[in-house]
Amino acid sequence: MCGIVGILGAKPVAGDLVDALRRLEYRGYDSAGIATVENGHLDRRRAEGKLKNLELRLSNHPLQGRAGIGHTRWATHGRPVERNAHPHMNGRVAVVHNGIIENFQELKGELAAKGHEFQTETDTETVLHLVTDYLDQGLPPVEAARMALERLSGAFALGLIFAGHDNLMIGARQGPPLAVGHGEGEMYLGSDAIALAPFTDMVTYLEDGDWVVLTREGAEIHDMTGRRVERPMVKSIASALLVDKGNYRHFMAKEIHEQPEVIGHTLANYLDMAAGKVVFPELGADLAKISRVTISACGTAHYAGLVGKYWLERYARIPVEIDIASEFRYRESPLPEDGLAIFVSQSGETADTLASLRYCKAGGQRIASVVNVRSSTIARESHVILPTLAGPEIGVASTKAFTCQLSVLACLAIAIGRARGAVGADQEKELVRALTEVPRHLTTILRSESLYESLAVSLHKAKDVLYLGRGPSYPIALEGALKLKEISYIHAEGYAAGELKHGPIALIDENVPVVVVAPENDLFEKTVSNMQEVAARGGQIILISDATPDKAGCKLQTHLQMPHAHPFISPLLYAVPVQLIAYHTAVVMGTDVDQPRNLAKSVTVE
Ligand code: M6R
């Protein structure tokens, strides 16, 4: 969603605000803006589109204030045009906002009746008028902000500065994350620690309902009841260097290539490789007694969970219930006694996943989260964190976070299987050995990237692409289709191969490429039959398999040869070719790979 930043600096802050926004741009990139207090007056620059447009505007019309706020927008209310870009501002106050003010219509009606004139289509503008209304009543800025916050409902992170107050900034958090950064005679506010990484590594994460009064001397934090509270200052591990593209053309390419390394780190966190055992953190529940596992997540993280279901059911012999979080949260699903609920999220901030977590927690489930951001809300509200060690993922299309999520879920399946007696010591050794081979196999797969470049040249002409897979390859087919549509804008669908004849086969003709994810396992022959049904109707087959092409028994447009490996680790390996197909197709099409249209990295609204 949107990214917000604020700086109370010792020198003019516009340059640093833009620098921070650059690191937040992955959260939203419809428009951007900054406002500063200069000689007691508020002034702002905004621009539609990418941050570079704002930079250009600032180079022609610089801002000199030492107190400022900035914003990069993912539009919710109001079109992505300059008029709706943040900061919203009048002569007295400027505001940046991430999230949704749910009662904005009601507030807007009330404020309009009092004579406030609205200039934008945004929900955020109500915050501006509300604070101004309290200032008009004679309240000082901090009090006016406090009163306004009490009236707001919804999910929001806010940053406010005031005319005539060069040493004051208010931040507030209800839902979306907000961090306070502590510098030497300077203070910062940011949607995440990565934004603040070049300025400070000492951060305080606000809790839900907190609001903070910042001056250059420090931060006074209040909880939702208005009580002064202390929140810990922690050393952030976000480093400015980690969010560099290196020699890669896109973050996504870098992140795809980082997978052997980050999967290695993640596995090392859960495996004793020498002993051939899984070493899992205490879940605080007797794994042998868990009655059911409930998994909930969104998008790519949901597909990771779906692979987890196949693994948990097959290897741990435990029933698994899984749903996308936006559905699960409202389904009123009955929850079992002794249930374990797992939430998978790269950002740890996805609103629907968080709401599902709270539902399960209220329903007495043991809560474990597979998250990449350990300081995130989902992590903090879980009983146990099962971290992925993917490092910051900047490309909006998730790649390395996905395979690291798979790595954790694979280890979890072994751990639960062992506790339930479904996985014996020998099988555990075999599965652990297979997992340790993943980084090596991925390195091999990544060496054949030129094949994907050639494939993309033909694939980019397609209007529709189908992805097929069976068993744990089915979620990989879904993930492949999601990746392709996200970044190349080509319509793509993933299907369970066996489902093809129940409808989707009607779409097949010689113009429809069909990507078949088919490791040579116990389901391979079945998938081959489905592939032949496609071939008989002229479909262009792209087979991803460790089987030799002759085993397909039909004409292939492309065969992407995979290394032979244990069937357990296939999802981890086959995830990478579908990422490479999407990436290279998008590159040929010339789309904005890292910041595809309409998407945002962290979805903190429903
Ligand atoms: O941060 P999360 O893992 O909770 O995000 C969930 C989805 O929004 C995310 O996976 C999304 O589908 C990605 N853009 C997919 O590439």
**Of the candidates 502, 451, 507, which has an alpha carbon nearest to the alpha carbon of residue 481?**
507
Q: Does a structural domain hold residue 604?
A: no
Q: Does a structural domain hold residue 110?
A: yes
39 and 101, same structural domain? Answer: yes
Coil, strand, or helix at residue 69? strand
Distance from Cα 414 to the centre of ligand 1, integer Å? 25
Going by alpha carbons, the residue nearest to atom 9 of ligand 1 is 299
Q: Does a structural domain hold residue 577?
A: yes
Q: What are the DSSP E strand ranges found in 264-362?
A: 271-272, 277-278, 292-297, 320-324, 339-345
Going by alpha carbons, the residue nearest to atom 4 of ligand 1 is 345
Query: Stretch 63-75: mean pLDDT, rounded?
Result: 94
Torsional class of 341: left (φ above 0), alpha (ψ -120 to 50), beta (otherwise): beta
Total number of domains constituting the chain: 3
C-beta of residue 87 within 8 angstroms of C-beta of residue 33: yes
Q: State if residue 396 touches ligand 1 by the CB under 6 angstroms criterion.
A: yes
372 and 499, same structural domain? Answer: no
216 and 284, same structural domain? Answer: no
198-217 as b/e: b if 16+ CB within 10 A = bbbbbbbbbbbebbbbbebe
448 and 429, same structural domain? Answer: no
68-104 as b/e: b if 16+ CB within 10 A = bbbbbbbbbebebeeebbbbbbbebbbbbbbbbbeeb
Q: Torsion over CA of 131, 136, 137 and 138, rounded to 10 degrees?
A: 100
CATH code for position 399: 3.40.50.10490
Strand partners, 322: 295
Q: State if residue 298 touches ligand 1 by the CB under 6 angstroms criterion.
A: yes
Distance from Cα 183 to the centre of ligand 1, integer Å? 32
CA distance 234 to 236: 6
CA distance 51 to 29: 7
Distance from Cα 89 to the centre of ligand 1, integer Å? 32
Domain end: 436, 460, 491, which one? 436
Residue in the block written with tokens 């299987």: 417
418 and 289, same structural domain? Answer: yes
More confident residue, 242 or 180: 180
Dump pLDDT digits (tens) for 243-289. Answer: 678 789 999 999 999 999 999 999 999 999 889 999 988 888 899 99
Q: Does a structural domain hold residue 606?
A: no
> Residue 299 CA: which ligand 1 atom is closest?
12
Domain carrying residue 224:
3-246
CATH code for position 140: 3.60.20.10
Torsional class of 532: left (φ above 0), alpha (ψ -120 to 50), beta (otherwise): alpha
Query: Stretch 21-34: mean pLDDT, rounded?
Result: 88
Supply the pLDDT for residue 238: 62
Q: State if residue 558 touches ligand 1 by the CB under 6 angstroms criterion.
A: no
Distance from Cα 455 to the centre of ligand 1, integer Å? 26
* pLDDT above 90: residue 169: yes
Distance from Cα 309 to the centre of ligand 1, integer Å? 18
Token duo for residue 17 = 């605000």
> Residue 347 CA: which ligand 1 atom is closest?
1
CA distance 541 to 432: 33
Supply the pLDDT for residue 243: 66
The CA-based angle 389-392-394, given to 5 degrees, is 140
Question: Annotated catalytic, 463?
Answer: no
Q: State if residue 486 touches ligand 1 by the CB under 6 angstroms criterion.
A: yes
Cβ burial of 379 (10 Å; 0-12, 13-18, 19+) is: buried
Q: Does a structural domain hold residue 532?
A: yes
* pLDDT above 90: residue 117: yes
SS3 content of the chain, % helix, strand, coil (to 5): 40, 25, 35
Percent of the chain with pLDDT over 70: 99
304 and 262, same structural domain? Answer: yes
Pocket test for ligand 1, best of 346, 354, 375, 583 (most atoms within 8 A of CB): 346
292-297 and 320-324: which strand pairing? parallel
479 and 342, same structural domain? Answer: no
Distance from Cα 298 to the centre of ligand 1, integer Å? 6
Supply the pLDDT for residue 202: 93
Winning range, highest mean pLDDT, from 24-33, 275-284, 306-315: 306-315
How does residue 242 score in pLDDT terms, banded at 50, 70 and 90? Answer: low
Supply the pLDDT for residue 282: 86
Query: Stretch 294-318: mean pLDDT, rounded?
Result: 98
Q: Does a structural domain hold residue 46?
A: yes
270 and 209, same structural domain? Answer: no
Dump pLDDT digits (tens) for 426-445. Answer: 999 999 999 999 999 999 99
Going by alpha carbons, the residue nearest to atom 16 of ligand 1 is 397
* pLDDT above 90: residue 350: yes
Supply the pLDDT for residue 197: 86
* pLDDT above 90: residue 236: no
Q: State if residue 372 touches ligand 1 by the CB under 6 angstroms criterion.
A: no
SS (H, E, C) 410-439: HHHHHHHHHHCCCCCHHHHHHHHHHHHCHH
Mean pLDDT of the chain: 94
88 and 13, same structural domain? Answer: yes
Q: State if residue 177 touches ligand 1 by the CB under 6 angstroms criterion.
A: no
Distance from Cα 299 to the centre of ligand 1, integer Å? 5
CA distance 532 to 526: 10
Q: State if residue 269 touches ligand 1 by the CB under 6 angstroms criterion.
A: no
* pLDDT above 70: residue 239: no
31-38 and 67-73: which strand pairing? antiparallel
299 and 213, same structural domain? Answer: no
Distance from Cα 416 to the centre of ligand 1, integer Å? 26
Q: Which amino acid is at 342?
A: I
Lowest mean pLDDT among 110-119, 502-511, 562-571: 502-511
Going by alpha carbons, the residue nearest to atom 10 of ligand 1 is 300
* pLDDT above 90: residue 553: no
Query: Stretch 67-74: mean pLDDT, rounded?
Result: 94
> Residue 397 CA: which ligand 1 atom is closest?
16
Pocket test for ligand 1, best of 251, 255, 405, 603 (most atoms within 8 A of CB): 603
Q: State if residue 350 touches ligand 1 by the CB under 6 angstroms criterion.
A: yes
Q: State if residue 347 touches ligand 1 by the CB under 6 angstroms criterion.
A: yes
482 and 408, same structural domain? Answer: no
SS (H, E, C) 173-210: EECCCCEEEECCCCEEEECCHHHHCCCCCEEEECCCCC
Cβ burial of 49 (10 Å; 0-12, 13-18, 19+) is: middle
Cβ burial of 265 (10 Å; 0-12, 13-18, 19+) is: middle
CA distance 398 to 576: 11
Question: Annotated catalytic, 2?
Answer: yes
Pocket test for ligand 1, best of 29, 250, 347 (most atoms within 8 A of CB): 347
471 and 427, same structural domain? Answer: no
Supply the pLDDT for residue 552: 87
Domain end: 395, 410, 436, which one? 436
Lowest mean pLDDT among 357-371, 431-445, 526-540: 526-540
CA distance 295 to 285: 16
Q: Does a structural domain hold residue 476?
A: yes
CA distance 170 to 444: 51
Supply the pLDDT for residue 24: 86
Helices first, then strands: H and E counts in the chain: 19, 27
**Of the candidates 331, 319, 324, 322, which has an alpha carbon nearest to the alpha carbon of residue 351?**
324
Cβ atoms within 10 Å of 536's Cβ, excluding its own: 11
Q: What are the DSSP E strand ranges found in 21-164?
A: 31-38, 41-48, 67-73, 88-89, 93-101, 154-162
Going by alpha carbons, the residue nearest to atom 11 of ligand 1 is 299
Supply the pLDDT for residue 241: 45
Token duo for residue 411 = 């280890």
Q: Which residues contact 113 (CB under 8 A, 6 or more apart)?
A: none
Q: Torsion over CA of 279, 280, 281 and 282, rounded to 10 degrees?
A: -110
* CA-to-CA dists, residue 396 to 259, 320, 349, 479, 579, angstroms: 16, 29, 14, 14, 13
Q: State if residue 379 touches ligand 1 by the CB under 6 angstroms criterion.
A: no
- The helix or strand, by DSSP H or E, that contains position 367, with its residue range, turns out to be strand 366-371
Distance from Cα 506 to the centre of ligand 1, integer Å? 30
Which of these is catalytic: 108, 400, 483, 601? 601
Q: Does a structural domain hold residue 595?
A: no
Domain end: 406, 436, 466, which one? 436
Token duo for residue 216 = 């250059």
How does residue 515 score in pLDDT terms, banded at 50, 70 and 90? Answer: very high
Supply the pLDDT for residue 288: 92
